[in-house]
Amino acid sequence: MERKGMIIVLLLSTVVTLYSKQFAPVGTTVAQFLEIGVGARGAAMGEAVTTVVNGACAAFWNPANIVDLQGGKMEGFSSITNWPAGITLGAISFSFKLSNIGTFAISSLYLKTDDMEITTVLNPNGTGEYFNISNYCIGLSYSRYLTDKVSVGLTTKVIHEGYLNYSYTTWGLDMGTLYRTNFHNMKIGMSILHFGPEVRFSGEYIDYSDPKSYSVNSPKNFELHSLPINFRFGVCLDILHIGNHRIITSGDLIHSNNNLEQYNVGLEYSLNDRFFLRSGYRFTSDNGKFSFGGGMKVDISGISLIIDYAYSDLGVLTKANRFSLSFTM
């Protein structure tokens, strides 16, 4: 059974490499906020965490990892990301184990902006009216072990995106699997994120690039667009585990329908499973490559608290700071 689980993981992962693209089809999908990495640990490790992040936070990366709670039967996670241009990304999730049924998680992701003044072709300096953006995604996840080494997971979610008077609401699915080996605690896993139907924004618009449409003031309907579907394949293992010292290295391959293949690597050093230093690198990213961070774990009255921080270089977009807090009981 374990061998079959390993074969399933490897076969599914080959799907990622079958459809490589020569040119990046950027700007062709909606719900781009779903692709912003969630959590300081994942961000610090270059987002190479398909097989690393577990518990409640795994709901945003690989639902198969939810079963690995960091001790106890309940775990909570929250994160805040300060993105450039006054954009804030927040996330919160809770996971809990139900005897032999499996592990469940409830997650929420939101993106909001500061107020922005509305501009038009006739009023390029502003109309005096303001709007903001508030997008969200709410998910319910389930994960369980098929064997003592293979776990699978599924997330169903509702996605909403809106800009002024234009919006849509749709559904999405995340699926994942994880295989654990005895070789240096190596893990092999894959996940498919944001799978769902094509969507169309409500309302109509004037196409100013089309003289015919503009001259007769003829509005158009928005076109259909796909969600940002991601196929992730990852591997991690211990390259050092002596006494209280442990170093984990990880690597991810990401294939998406709106970009070229991406290759990320990450590293985490832990001392006594209490203090953590992390770094990562995204080789083919077009908005920054290097990241680093750290964290610490403390026990208070039977509750384990983990505080994490990450700094990410965003290239021309400057930088991003992420803070995360999780607890296990």
Q: Is the predicted pLDDT of residue 6 greater than 60, yes or no?
A: no
- The pLDDT assigned to 213 comes to 65
Inform me whether the pLDDT recorded for 26 exceeds 70: no
Checking if the pLDDT of 8 tops 60, the result is: no
Q: Alpha-carbon distance 159 to 195, whole Å?
A: 11
CA dist 25 and 4 (Å) reads 36
Query: Is residue 119 over pLDDT 50?
Result: yes
Backbone angles phi, psi at 202, to 5 degrees: -75, 160
pLDDT at 2 over 70: no
Q: Please give the C-alpha separations between residue 143 and each of 48, 178, 327, in angstroms, as whole numbers.
A: 21, 11, 19
Rg of the chain over Cα atoms, rounded to whole angstroms, equals 21
Residue at 202: amino acid letter: S
Rounded to the nearest integer, the mean pLDDT of the chain is: 88
Q: Cβ neighbours of residue 92 under 8 Å, at least 6 residues apart?
A: 76, 77, 78, 79, 107, 108
Identify the residue with better confidence: 11 or 211: 211
Q: Who contacts 260 (Cβ-Cβ below 8 Å, separation ≥6)?
A: 21, 23, 24, 284
Q: How many CA atoms lie within 13 A of 196 on its CB side?
A: 27
Instruction: Decide if pLDDT at 139 tops 90.
Output: yes
Q: Which residues pair with 280 in a beta bridge?
A: 266, 291
Per-residue model confidence (pLDDT) at position 228: 95
List the one residue out of 176, 175, 172 whose CA is nearest residue 195.
Answer: 172
Q: Which residues pair with 154 in a beta bridge?
A: 142, 175
In 3D, which of 193, 195, 192, 199 has the Cα closest to residue 160? 199
pLDDT of 167: 93
62 backbone dihedrals φ, ψ, rounded to 5°: -155, 105
Residue at token pair 């585990």: 241
Side chain identity at residue 36, one-letter code: I
pLDDT band, very low/low/confident/very high, at 222 (cuts 50, 70, 90):
confident
Q: Are 40 and 275 in contact (CB under 8 A)?
A: no
Higher pLDDT, 260 or 179: 179
- Smallest CA-to-CA distance from 191 within 48, 19, 74 is with 48
| Mean pLDDT along residues 309-320 | 88
User: What pLDDT shows up at residue 131?
Assistant: 86
Among 74-78, 163-167, 268-272, the least confident range:
163-167
Candidate from 155-169, 173-187, 213-227, 282-296 with smallest mean pLDDT: 213-227
pLDDT of 10 strictly over 60 = no
The size of the chain, in residues, is: 329
Say what the pLDDT of residue 17 is: 44
Whole-model pTM: value is 0.88
pLDDT of the residue at 289: 86
- Is the confidence at residue 12, as pLDDT, over 70? no
Please name which of 69, 136, 135, 71 lies closest in space to residue 105, comparing C-alpha atoms.
69
Q: What is the pLDDT of residue 30?
A: 92
**135 pLDDT above the threshold of 70:** yes
> Nearest-CA neighbor of 170 among 59, 32, 31?
31
pLDDT of residue 47: 96
Q: What is the pLDDT of residue 5?
A: 47
| pLDDT recorded at residue 291 | 96
- The pLDDT of residue 316 is above 80: no
Strand pairing report for 220-221 and 230-242: unpaired
Lookup result for tokens 């906020």: 33
What are the E-state strand segments in 150-302?
150-163, 166-180, 187-195, 204-205, 220-221, 230-242, 245-256, 262-271, 275-282, 290-300
Reduced to 3 states (helix: H, G, I; strand: E, B; else coil), residue 133 is strand
Q: How confident is the model at residue 321 (pLDDT cuts 50, 70, 90)?
A: very high
